[in-house]
Structure 1
Amino acid sequence: MTSTAVRVQTVPSFIEDAWWTPDATSLTERNSAEVRDASTGETLAVVSTEGLDVARVVDYARTTGQQALGEFTFHQRALKLKALAQFLNDQRTSLYELSARTGATKIDSMVDIDGGIGVLFTFGSKGRRELPNSNVVVDGPPETLSKDGSFLGEHIYTRIPGAAVQINAFNFPVWGMLEKLAPAFLAGVPTIVKPATPTGYLTAAVVKFIIESNILPQGALQLISGSARDLLDYLDYRDLVSFTGSASTANKLKSHDNVVHGGVRFTSETDSLNAAILGEDAVPGTPEFDAFVKSLVTEITVKAGQKCTSIRRTIVPKALVNDVVAAARERIEQRIVLGDPRAEGVTMGALASLDQLRDVRSAVETMIAAGGELAYGSLDAPRVTRADGTVDTVADGAFMSPVLLTWENAEAIELHTIEAFGPVASVIGYDDAAHAVRLAALGAGSLVATVCTNDPEVARELVLGIAAHHGRVLMLNREDARSSTGHGSPVPHLVHGGPGRAGGGEELGGIRSVLHHMQRTAIQGSPNMLTAVTGVWHTGADQRFDDAHPFRKNLATLQIGDAVRSDLRQVTLEDITAFASTTGDTFYAHTNEEASAANPFFPGIVAHGYLLLSWGAGLFVDPAPGPVLANYGLENLRFITPVAAGDSIRVTLTAKRITPREDEEYGEVAWDAVLHNQNDEIVATYDVLTLVEK
């Protein structure tokens, strides 16, 4: 590139719901960067944000994006994520073609592209199953703060009022964006995504498809392609930054005045020297040894080892170091074909860029100088399969062969502090389980570790020893070797993150990651006020007892607080005996007067709890066909006061929570059920769950 105007395609940004590129005549070497094909070195495009008004981007998210997303409930947003996943599923062919330019093989692209789409599907499902059809999440039961129940306290989650700024790494240009977009969108928070320059053109292609789908509302997603060094200057306590990348960059961002003093929420996922520990029982010839070697080779070759979750430190019994290296060498030589991903038969592609190749080689050289020995591989330019099928070295390709290092000193500082972010791993020996735990902990906090053993006691000692140093631990043995998603594969259901060097944050984790984009607030007030704010009926709030049984009301007419109260029904000894006989539940408290009276909890023979529940249903149910379609369960059941023969019970049923399903002709209703005895003492409390027509 020269200092004159650049005449190649520029990767666009998407801001204020329009595509934007800088004035081509303003681009120079200093304010723009070229991106190249990782395998051939061919210039693909230029990236620049010269002239982009970042302040307007942030303001648009906080205003237009917040307003548009706030018009939808969790369930409505979840359905949009599902629709978006279905739409992107149909675009995978063109995305795979573009992904190959980043050095990604078909398997690599599947992990990135299909994995990202899978995250959208997961959150689309979990949002409808685990969140209310509203914009408020109630966190835990209410706390009674007064003797008469007129003053309560409770915790709620509501969305943060700003933008979710997502600064992503180069290694997963699709998954890295979608795994952050999904929980932010579900929470109702607009996203500003800033991808890494070397592979950001693939991110831009995905955003283009997202915009073409016309599924997301205005302002929900903006894309900054290129440098955004002043982005944090425009953020404050309303906003959240989610960063993935190097620890040095994370530390620089975390030291920004708006983070330190301005209250910007900051979470990061950074360098991680992940470990895999082989149990002493997992000797050559066992399924565990084979699974361990397979995992090691997979982790250093998929995405050419450019994964924050790749295995960097392979911790094995000292006597097995050579066996593990030999088995890994054999598997690499049998299965790994290095080359251009567009060539038939290639199983490992290039690093993302020549800069990345230089960084990885430099890291390995430093490790060798510190005592590491090259047990397999080379730092020389490898022979690779070109796109046309010929085999040769490629001067402008970012190719590197897999590398295994061994160390005489298993506690060398460089081994546990330098991450060669490529197809590189070290194999080191431990003396006993306690030594293995200590070696794993020297990573100073990691995203993930594997413990490979078929001995439950070994697994327990190792896992409990290293768990606090890691965000995730995979226990690998013969039982799950085939079904396991693998050491290096975060899943949207579980948290992705780790302590210490790994950044200290958490991404994904199902609904936990949605709550990261929300503020937890303690609210206090009367039962009526808490009911009004949360949309959930609270004990002590108003109830409506009218002539229409609530089971006669569909979701269009049923309201929170609609209730029915039954008459008393007496429980006789004959009832208790008959229930014991027909169910087979002849526990002594229901059949033996002397033994029951000796129990400090019972006054003598008492009614079965499940007899009372059955009678409770008989007392509140409206038997004729109507809007109530089915009873699908109970929640929060507690038996409080025993009911003896001669006592009576009545039930009060109140509509507690109403959750219409967006894509069905029915919804769920949770009913607060309370059984009282003839003395108005509470016998039992529980929630009845029903499906009700709209």
Structure 2
Amino acid sequence: MMNASNTPLLPNFVAGQWVNGQGTGALLTDPVTGAALVRVSSAGLDLPAAFAFARDDGGAALRALTYGERAALLKKVGEVLAANRDAYYDIATANSGTVKTDSAIDIDGALYTLGQYARWGAALGEARVLLDGEPVALAKDGAFQSQHLLRPTRGVALFINAFNFPAWGLWEKAAPALLSGVPVIIKPATATAWLTQRMVADVVNAGVLPAGALSVICGSSAGLLDQLGPFDVLSFTGSAETAAVIRSHPNVVRHSVRVNIEADSLNAAALLPGADDDALQCFAREVAREMTVKSGQKCTAIRRAFVPAERFEAAAQAIAAQLAKATVGNPRGEGVRMGALVNREQFDNVLAGLETLSAHAEVLLDGRAAPWVDADPAIAACLGPTLLGCHTPEATDANAVVHQVEVFGPAATLLAYRDEAHLLALVRKGEGSLVCSLYSHDAAALAATAAELADAHGRIHIVTPAVAKLHSGHGNVMPQSLHGGPGRAGGGEELGGLRALGFYHRRSALQAAPEVLAALGATARI
């Protein structure tokens, strides 16, 4: 095991140069072996200079380019990252404890998202101005008109990210920001900052982006919000508690900083009344997959699984049969399908959450007793999947805790409901979620239920047996679709194709004669 005192310190990249933070910093470790990996520190950085350089140098250089030219930069970034893909997998295994298929969701998902925005941006061509809608007449015969347009904000995009997606979490935000012409400062979660820092380092060293377009600060976030100004934007992924602190920060309030929040969410999956056995199997496979992929450490993972009361036992058995395939342990081990939680702190948090839920629901399958492959129980942060349940609608009604407490790990609760109206009411007890998935063979029932629940979710994922092998997955965030959700989920929106550019632009209405509007030059309408 590496001695912590000899562990290398990862530098930060700010104001166009690599800078080491002061002090010993925070130690990043292997969540399976406990080995020290790297250290990170942001102490002592000149944050005002870092933000000013990004705004002034990075922003000006990006805005000087067309949308098509910025899209070409994204393509080059993707090529650099693809060339170093193997190194990223090694870092993910060591620092996140993920098996290869789970690492792919993060790393290859990042590459795919970058590629999509490069293609969508290329279609904008030589445009320097984006038009929002058609011109509207303000005078007789259209002699005086109003045209809404979008222009990139002249600030910086600060990203404060979560630990579970150090690769995708960076690039799903950075791709639309850079395409918009807005420089990026990324503050990854400390526990898994190594992969984010390495990706930024590879892009910086390749010289494919203008100076100041991309910066990375690893370690404490202290002082970052103090640097934000009226034209900056802030995107945060993490807990609702931290989100509340960010929203109420005096500098954010004083400057009306535009903020996007993606917070924790009690996402639901529902087998609809009358669903056939094939739909039940689709439901069971997806619940089990969301419990085990990345050890359940996904903001979109299924936490509440609803079934008609008469199908409860069949659903529980089907889910358990799927979970029996999940071999847990060292991700380097032969046949291991589920790796570790991110660290022992998260391991302890999950155990505490399971204790809370198990006091209100029956433990149907206890992952805390599952054997581990090639992992020391005294050191590793491994944990098998735990399925809890409330067998009757009455038990479900009495269980308020399951709609309030999220265990951010390999856990879900199976809940019985009476009828369609009861199901809709129960799902809404989550008070807003990122995603809800619905399962049935009945297209009309699925469409009606989806429409009824759409206002409470950023995404409704609908699965029929016909798409069992085709659908993208309840928890997979695709760049073509919106990611975010109302209420408890944070109220934010990301991705959704070119809709994502709206967060990084300012909308303005030009009121003028048609000939003035025609003189705007190269434009694209979105």
Q: TM-score, normalised by structure 2?
A: 0.96
Deviations 1:134-193 (A, max 9, x none): 221011111111225332111000000100001100000000001000000000000000
Residue in 1 aligned with 2:476? 489
Residue in 1 aligned with 2:38? 45
Residue in 1 aligned with 2:371? 383
Q: Verify the 8 A CA contact 2:33 2:376 in the aligned structure 1.
A: no
1:170 is paired with a residue of what secondary structure?
A: coil
1:189 is paired with a residue of what secondary structure?
A: coil
2:339 is paired with a residue of what secondary structure?
A: coil
Q: Distance in 2 between matches of 1:194 and 1:468?
A: 31
2:89 is paired with a residue of what secondary structure?
A: helix
2:329 is paired with a residue of what secondary structure?
A: coil
Residue in 1 aligned with 2:443? 456
Select 1:274's aligned residue among 267, 270, 273: 267
Q: Distance in 1 between matches of 2:511 and 2:233?
A: 27
Deviations 1:33-81 (A, max 9, x none): 2111011111112221111111111111110111110121100111111
Q: Verify the 8 A CA contact 1:163 1:239 in the aligned structure 2.
A: yes
Residue in 2 aligned with 1:589? none
Q: Verify the 8 A CA contact 1:119 1:179 in the aligned structure 2.
A: yes
- C-alpha deviation, 1:261, in angstroms: 2.7
Q: Verify the 8 A CA contact 1:165 1:241 in the aligned structure 2.
A: yes
1:410 is paired with a residue of what secondary structure?
A: helix
- C-alpha deviation, 1:9, in angstroms: 1.1
Deviations 1:499-543 (A, max 9, x none): 00000000111101012100000011122221223546xxxxxxx
The answer to whether residue 436 in structure 2 is matched with residue 436 in structure 1 is no
Q: Verify the 8 A CA contact 1:383 1:394 in the aligned structure 2.
A: no
The answer to whether residue 16 in structure 2 is matched with residue 17 in structure 1 is yes
Q: Verify the 8 A CA contact 2:61 2:210 in the aligned structure 1.
A: yes
1:401 is paired with a residue of what secondary structure?
A: coil
Select 1:425's aligned residue among 405, 408, 412: 412
The answer to whether residue 363 in structure 2 is matched with residue 374 in structure 1 is yes
- C-alpha deviation, 1:465, in angstroms: 2.0
The answer to whether residue 295 in structure 2 is matched with residue 315 in structure 1 is no
1:311 is paired with a residue of what secondary structure?
A: coil
Residue in 1 aligned with 2:381? 398
Q: Residues 429 and 153 of structure 1: is their aligned pair in 2 closer, same or farther, counting only changes over 3 Å?
A: same
The answer to whether residue 514 in structure 2 is matched with residue 514 in structure 1 is no
Deviations 1:194-249 (A, max 9, x none): 00011001111111111122211111100000102221111121000000000110
Deviations 1:337-366 (A, max 9, x none): 111111121100000011111111111111
Residue in 1 aligned with 2:116? 122
Residue in 1 aligned with 2:353? 363
Q: Verify the 8 A CA contact 1:138 1:534 in the aligned structure 2.
A: no
User: Residues 630-669 of structure 1 correspond to what in structure 2 (within 5 A)?
Assistant: none
Residue in 2 aligned with 1:260? 253
User: Residues 497-576 of structure 1 correspond to what in structure 2 (within 5 A)?
Assistant: 497-535=484-522
Q: Distance in 1 between matches of 2:180 and 2:316?
A: 46
Q: Distance in 2 between matches of 1:520 and 1:405?
A: 48
Q: Distance in 2 between matches of 1:368 and 1:440?
A: 20
Q: Distance in 1 between matches of 2:494 and 2:341?
A: 25
Residue in 1 aligned with 2:279? 288
Which of the two has higher C-alpha Rg? Answer: 1
Select 1:414's aligned residue among 368, 381, 401: 401
Q: Distance in 2 between matches of 1:359 and 1:124?
A: 39
Q: Distance in 2 between matches of 1:136 and 1:43?
A: 49
Select 1:337's aligned residue among 308, 327, 330: 327
Q: Distance in 1 between matches of 2:521 and 2:495?
A: 25
Deviations 1:435-485 (A, max 9, x none): 111111000000001000111232133212211110000110111111111
Q: Verify the 8 A CA contact 2:12 2:21 in the aligned structure 1.
A: no
Q: Distance in 2 between matches of 1:339 and 1:87?
A: 32
Matched-pair identity in %: 38
Q: Verify the 8 A CA contact 2:480 2:495 in the aligned structure 1.
A: yes
Greater helix percent: which structure? 2
Q: Which amino acid aligns with 2:113?
A: V
1:55 is paired with a residue of what secondary structure?
A: helix
The answer to whether residue 79 in structure 2 is matched with residue 75 in structure 1 is no
Deviations 1:89-132 (A, max 9, x none): 12111111111011111111110000000001000011122x35
Select 1:325's aligned residue among 292, 308, 316: 316
Select 1:111's aligned residue among 105, 108, 112: 105
2:9 is paired with a residue of what secondary structure?
A: coil
Q: Distance in 2 between matches of 1:199 and 1:127?
A: 30
Q: Which amino acid aligns with 2:386?
A: V
User: Superposition RMSD on alpha carbons, in Å?
Assistant: 1.6
Q: Verify the 8 A CA contact 2:128 2:522 in the aligned structure 1.
A: no
User: Residues 168-207 of structure 1 correspond to what in structure 2 (within 5 A)?
Assistant: 168-207=161-200
User: Which fold has the larger relative contact order, with Cα–Cα distance below 8 Å and residues 6 or more apart in sequence?
Assistant: 2
Q: Distance in 2 between matches of 1:524 and 1:212?
A: 45
Q: Distance in 1 between matches of 2:113 and 2:362?
A: 40
Q: Which amino acid aligns with 1:127?
A: G
- C-alpha deviation, 1:280, in angstroms: 2.2
Select 2:50's aligned residue among 57, 76, 85: 57
Q: Verify the 8 A CA contact 1:383 1:393 in the aligned structure 2.
A: no
- In structure 1, stretches of 5+ residues that fail to align are 387-391, 537-656, 660-694
Q: Verify the 8 A CA contact 2:153 2:506 in the aligned structure 1.
A: yes
Q: Distance in 2 between matches of 1:63 and 1:491?
A: 33
Q: Which amino acid aligns with 2:383?
A: M
Q: Residues 150 and 535 of structure 1: is their aligned pair in 2 closer, same or farther, counting only changes over 3 Å?
A: farther
Q: Which amino acid aligns with 1:483?
A: L
The answer to whether residue 241 in structure 2 is matched with residue 248 in structure 1 is yes
Q: Distance in 1 between matches of 2:303 and 2:93?
A: 25
Deviations 1:413-445 (A, max 9, x none): 210011100000000001001111111100000
The answer to whether residue 349 in structure 2 is matched with residue 349 in structure 1 is no
Q: Distance in 1 between matches of 2:57 and 2:81?
A: 25
Q: Verify the 8 A CA contact 2:284 2:315 in the aligned structure 1.
A: yes
Q: Verify the 8 A CA contact 2:158 2:234 in the aligned structure 1.
A: yes
Q: Which amino acid aligns with 2:330?
A: D
2:436 is paired with a residue of what secondary structure?
A: strand
Residue in 1 aligned with 2:292? 301
1:396 is paired with a residue of what secondary structure?
A: coil
Q: Distance in 1 between matches of 2:304 and 2:236?
A: 24
- C-alpha deviation, 1:378, in angstroms: 3.7
Q: Distance in 2 between matches of 1:98 and 1:155?
A: 46
Q: Verify the 8 A CA contact 2:264 2:488 in the aligned structure 1.
A: yes
Q: Distance in 2 between matches of 1:316 and 1:261?
A: 47
- In structure 2, stretches of 5+ residues that fail to align are none
Q: Verify the 8 A CA contact 1:450 1:475 in the aligned structure 2.
A: yes
